[in-house]
Amino acid sequence: DAGVIQSPRHEVTEMGQEVTLRCKPISGHNSLFWYRQTMMRGLELLIYFNNNVPIDDSGMPEDRFSAKMPNASFSTLKIQPSEPRDSAVYFCASSTGGSNTEAFFGQGTRLTVV
């Protein structure tokens, strides 16, 4: 398996524009997570899905952020409109689900909003 695949690797956009980040989890994994990494806040959990259903979105910073998982092999994180403070590295991770299992991370998308 190629691991968790994220696209794009880098995104530079202007403030106010819509940004869509994409993730393909490892085949057979039931849980999918979106994290945001910044120097100030470290790794923050934004939302996670189990069997394509959003379970906990309490980490989503505000209504400008939304996430979907239309099927077991694809998820998106959308920011609309984007703001400079959204600049960060966004990671997608997947796991087999259940308690105490390893999360496998993608290589991340570095987002810069200017």
Partner 1 sequence: QQQVKQSPQSLIVQKGGIPIINCAYENTAFDYFPWYQQFPGKGPALLIAIRPDVSEKKEGRFTISFNKSAKQFSLHIMDSQPGDSATYFCAASKFGDDKIIFGKGTRLHILP
Q: Does 102 bind partner 1 (CB under 8 A)?
A: yes
Distances (CA, A) of 104 to 13, 16, 84, 114: 28, 32, 28, 30
Size of the site for partner 1 (CB under 8 A): 28
Shortest distance, position 3 Cβ to partner 1, whole Å: 9
Alpha carbons 103 and 90: distance in angstroms, whole number: 15
Give how far the C-alpha of residue 43 lies from the chain's centroid of Cα atoms, to the nearest Å.
Answer: 11
Of 75, 79, 95, 111, the one binding partner 1 (CB under 8 A) is: 95
In the complex, the residues that contact partner 1 under the rule CB under 8 A are 4, 31, 33, 35, 41-45, 48, 50, 55-56, 91, 93, 95, 97-108
